[in-house]
Amino acid sequence: MPIISSTYKGPPFYLINGHLETIVPSLRRKVSGVNYERERIDTPDDDFLDIDWIKSGNNKLLVISHGLEGNSGRHYVMGLAKLFNQNGWDILAWNNRTCSGEMNRQRILYHHGASYDLRTVVNHAAGKEEYGEIALAGISLGGGQTLRYLGEHQEFPLPEKLTKAVAISVPCSLIDSVETLKFRSNWVYEKKFVERLKAKIVEKARQFPDIDVSGIEKLKTTYEFDERFSGPIHGFKGAKDFYEHCNPIPFIGKIKTPILILNALNDPLLKGECYPYQLAETSPYVFLETPKRGGHVGFVESGSEFTYAEKRALEFLTRIMQ
């Protein structure tokens, strides 16, 4: 499909760069009026996932996947949930393992390539007779999970009810995205991610005492954390092997479900193949929109309760369905 020209006019004047467009909404945006009903479902490996519903008797369901160290309560999830529910959709916002407020049972945590858990969630939703249409919305890490899930359709057939998807601020190339954390200007993001992940692995070590967390306070970078913990715990040799496995880009060309990828050009956490122009130009299913502004999961619009990304997702999924 041709690359889509964006109609995003940009953020308020005081958000002068991609960092402010990313950080200010993350810290200050509040979304009210979203009330979930929680359900706990089992996974095939005897673990659990907590999923949060908004059920209003609609025939259409939006499944939302959050970003790294996020959850169903993050502003970007609740913004999508509120807007879509106001426009005739039920909502299922799921929480990755360890992200719902309770540590999971198994040794593994979650990661960019955890499409198996998204598959469990979608299959559970597809079993609900009340839904005739299911769409996916993945944000950042959740977008990567979504791309991989859709690209695995030959090995794992998708439910017929699943007909379209959106991925927002998605690291289409995880390898390129990880490289951005080395930029001096991105130290605040890396520090936040690493500190939260270290706290979780210390808690996980209480469940599994053979996980050695000695000297963990010395780890400063995501790569160091993934080299020592994320890779080995999930069965990989180290960080490099882990990133190569989780990388969404090999799966994008295999997707046969219409999907909009919305990545801002000034996103501080994206570069290189995170903007897969060639794949979008050659695929009839991949729609790529790359506005100049937006930051990472920002896309703020002056005077609007909802972001451009949320409204664009609704527009795309509604049009594709029709």
Claim to verify: residue 150 and residue 47 sit in the same structural domain:
yes
Distance of CA 115 to the CA centre of its chain: 11
C-alpha 291/C-alpha 51 separation (Å) is 32
> Which mean pLDDT values do the consecutive 10-residue runs of the chain (322 residues) have?
90 97 97 98 98 98 98 98 98 98 97 97 97 98 98 97 98 97 95 95 97 96 96 95 97 97 98 97 96 98 97 93 52
Q: Could you please report the per-residue DSSP string of 246-274? A: H-SHHHHTT--S-EEEE--TT-TT--GGG
Claim to verify: residue 22 and residue 80 sit in the same structural domain:
yes
Claim to verify: residue 123 and residue 222 sit in the same structural domain:
no
Claim to verify: residue 94 and residue 168 sit in the same structural domain:
yes
Claim to verify: residue 259 and residue 316 sit in the same structural domain:
yes
Claim to verify: residue 69 and residue 148 sit in the same structural domain:
yes
**HSE-CB of 65 using CA atoms within 13 angstroms:** 37
Range of the domain at 141: 18-173+248-321
At residue 2, the pLDDT reads: 72
Quick one: which of 112, 167, 110 has its CA closest to 138? Answer: 167
**HSE-CB of 186 using CA atoms within 13 angstroms:** 21
At residue 319, the pLDDT reads: 85
Provide the Cα torsion 22, 23, 26, 27; round to 10°.
Answer: -160
Claim to verify: residue 300 and residue 214 sit in the same structural domain:
no
Q: Label residues 142-164 b or e (16+ Cβ within 10 Å = b).
A: bbbbbbbbbbbeeeeebeebbbb
CB 95 within 8 A of CB 195: no
Reported pTM = 0.97
Q: Indicate which CATH number applies to the domain containing 61.
A: 3.40.50.1820
C-alpha 86/C-alpha 152 separation (Å) is 32
At residue 232, the pLDDT reads: 96
